[in-house]
Amino acid sequence: MKLIQYSRILILVILAGCSDKFNEPNIDYRIEFQSLLSSFEEASILSFDKVKVQDSKFYLNYLEELDPQKIYFLKKDLSIIHNDAPTKIYDNLRSIITLFYERYEETLHIRKDLLWFHKFNFEKDEYIKVKRTEYFSTISEKKEFNRKILKNLIINEMLDDKELESVVDELRRTYKDRISSLKKLRASDKFGVLANNFLSQIDPHAQYFSERDLENWNLRMNLSFEGIGAVLSYENEFAKIEELMPGGPAVTSNQISVGDKVIGVGQGEEGRIIRVVGWRLDDIVDKIRGEEGTFVQLKIQNNSGTSIVKLKRGKVLLEESDASSEIFEKGAHKLGYINLPSFYSDTECLNLGNPYTCKSAGNDVRKILIDFNSKQVNGLVIDLRNNGGGFLYEADLLTRLFINAGPTVQIKGSNNEVDVYSTWSTRRAWSKPVVVLVNKFSASASEIFAGALQDYKRALIVGQGTFGKGSVQRFERTKNGQFKFTDSLYYRVNGKPTQIYGVTPDLELPALLDAEEYGEQKYKNALKPSSIESTVFYKFNNEWTSTILKKHQARITSSDFYNLLSEIKSENESNEEVSLLFNERILIENTRKNRNLGLANLRREIAGQPKFESYQDFLDFESDGIVLDEEIDQSLQALIDIIEDKKT
């Protein structure tokens, strides 16, 4: 088992279109915090008590949220926490944040010094505990823990056949970059951490957004932006091209490659090139961003030398978050499959008043369903695994593609009044059998959709219990930004909440994850609502027979894949300590690789693909489309059972 996996600092940034306006703002953050406090107190449905906020327990939780693994703070740091007047809330939080960054920087320097001056002994038989339960008593204890952390990171890399010297050199560069990045932090960055950590203590889904944060959030939800279509990472003071996005100006230019370094940026076709080595990554992005049709110059450095690349900014689609589809043929059955990563929508297009032509989850799925109908597809699996939600109205629209009419969700606001999303004039786009595949990370809008189709008996739900996020958020302005907060709770049409409880599948699929460690229930301050009255709705005449359940259970019991999965899960749960003896780790790693290779080859067998000959073949494999995995296969088998059951 690997602990705290080593990776380079990777700051993913979408180079998107907006004006060059994000310099360090001249903001009084004490006033901004008071503005946030007042706005939250007035708008949120959650009770806000300044007396509780000034309590030492609140500050302890605040500190723990900053350091949940207990790897930065010392026990003596808890003395910074004290009760004070409500007017001192900001000062207390700022003191904790200041101390946090001091301890974080201290940790980075401890690791940097160890990498330069300590000789690691890989023949020493010692262990490191996976989970810490207490803060460090002394700085010596902290140094010893970090020695073990680094030793574990080095072992992880050496197990991948890397030489000790190259691993240590790479780690030295990593911590040099982290220290450099830390020194570039601004007051706005630290206030964002302060505000978000504060909000999370009251409302687990509240979030503060600066002007830049909000624009980036909107870009992710709209699935399109204007820019050059690249992702940058930060390495050794250089901005490096980490990824080129399909169809973007950068990739179509054929002049930029992954791994190239951006050392200068100029505006327009003839503008002066400004050197950007050592800059903050977001400042470099600000220089590259611009409106569609305008030009930007990049000074690129690679193994061939340096060159100037002129790019015309254009519109780029985030296609990896689109709805995608596939048709699987199993025997006499032609089965449709739709993967929906999020409930996205182009809000700018919607504001223009032409909703049916806009890029959105509902519109994209509608087009796929029309195509499936034209190809005489017999049934449908909708995959919502890892779909964390999105726009509420997209969940409503998507539900209406599968029901004739009626309510889809109930919303209860701060005034305790219940609004029902309902219409009696819609016409469904799909009338054939449906299976919805979910997991623990299906949340929010995913749960609205899955819960509605389950209540209507319109679909069979397969997978694991969902996340349990049954709250609705909206935005409110502060003096210099905005914040997202819980405004209401949503309920299923039968009156039951998904908050905490989630959606329970009709057919359960085993998983590696421990469900109790994930989901809404892990938040200490999660809302625990009771049920409300059911609204009027009419169920479909679909009764899932006991035969369907028995067939499903028989498949799971006899599945080599799920039997091996169970063994791996038991092994993972027993590993509370990690050995730092290199030879022992080799044996453990070989066992892990063999099991993972076995699991991967069972997946390949399910997909009808040839087995991997080696573990390296498995690591090198890159899928270029939808691959039939064990959970999709089980969902398709359940879909066939429904189709066959209807014939009897």
Note whether 140 and 231 are same-domain residues.
Answer: no
Give 15's pLDDT tier (boundaries 50, 70, 90).
very low
Q: Stretch 329-348: mean pLDDT, rounded?
A: 91
- 550 within domain boundaries: no
Q: How do residues 492-512 score in pLDDT, each as one tens digit?
A: 999 999 999 999 999 999 988
pLDDT score of 51 more than 90 = no
Number of folded domains in the chain?
4
- Mark which of 139, 167, 202 sits at the end of a domain: 202
Give the mean model confidence (pLDDT) for residues 411-423. Answer: 88
Q: What is the pLDDT of residue 20?
A: 40
The answer on 327 and 452 residing in a single domain is: yes
* Whether residue 306 is found in the same domain as residue 189: no
Asked whether residue 113 carries a pLDDT value surpassing 90, the answer given is yes
CA distance 3 to 481: 38
Query: Percent of the chain at pLDDT above 90?
Result: 50
Residue 392 sits in a domain whose CATH number is: 3.90.226.10
Highest mean pLDDT of the ranges 177-181, 192-196, 425-429, 519-523 = 192-196
Q: Are residues 297 and 339 in the same domain?
A: no
Do 332 and 279 reside in the same domain of the chain? no
Q: Is residue 264 part of a domain?
A: yes
Residue 47: per-residue pLDDT: 63
Which two structure tokens, joined as six digits, stand for 460? Answer: 């069979």
CA nearest to 201, candidates 30, 63, 45? 63
* d(C-alpha 133, C-alpha 154), whole Å: 24
Is residue 576 scored above 80 in pLDDT?
no
Q: What is the CATH number of the domain that holds 307?
A: 2.30.42.10
In this predicted structure, what is the pLDDT of residue 315? 75
User: Is the Cβ–Cβ distance between 476 and 483 less than 8 Å?
Assistant: yes
The yes-or-no verdict on residue 114 having pLDDT over 80 is yes
- 310 and 359 share a domain? no
> Per-residue pLDDT tens for 121-162?
999 999 998 789 999 999 999 999 999 999 999 999 999 889
AA identity, residue 526: A
Whether 441 and 325 share a structural domain:
yes
Average pLDDT of the residues in 307-321: 78
Please choose, from the candidates 225, 313, 315, the residue with its C-alpha nearest in 3D space to the C-alpha of residue 267: 313
Q: Say how far apart CA 139 and CA 145 lie, in whole Å.
A: 10
Average pLDDT over residues 370-399: 95
Is the model's pLDDT at 10 over the cut of 70?
no
Indicate if 268 and 281 belong to the same structural domain.
yes
Same domain, 335 and 305: no
Q: Please report the pLDDT score of residue 86 as a whole number.
A: 52
- Give the pair of three-digit tokens for residue 531: 């049920």
Which pLDDT does position 370 carry in this prediction? 97
Cα separation of 333 and 338, whole Å?
Answer: 16
State the pLDDT confidence band at 556, using cuts at 50, 70 and 90.
very high
Mean pLDDT for 76-86 is: 72
Inter-CA distances, 152 with 134, 179, 244, 464, 550, Å: 20, 21, 33, 33, 46
In a domain, 28, yes or no: no
Residue 65's domain comprises 49-202
pLDDT classification of 356: cutoffs 50, 70, 90? confident
Within this chain, do residues 267 and 410 fall inside the same structural domain, yes or no? no
pTM: 0.79
User: Among 317, 349, 375, where does a domain finish?
Assistant: 317
pLDDT surpasses 50 at 8: no
Q: What integer pLDDT is reported at residue 232 of this predicted model?
A: 84
> Looking at the predicted structure, is the pLDDT value of residue 342 above 50?
yes
pLDDT band at 219 (very low <50, low <70, confident <90, very high): low
**Does residue 395 carry a pLDDT above 80?**
yes
User: In this model, does residue 242 exceed pLDDT 80?
Assistant: yes
Do both 325 and 310 map to the same domain? no
Q: What percent of the chain is predicted at pLDDT more than 70?
A: 90
- Give the pLDDT band of residue 452 (cuts 50, 70, 90): very high
pLDDT at 14 over 60: no
In this predicted structure, what is the pLDDT of residue 102? 97
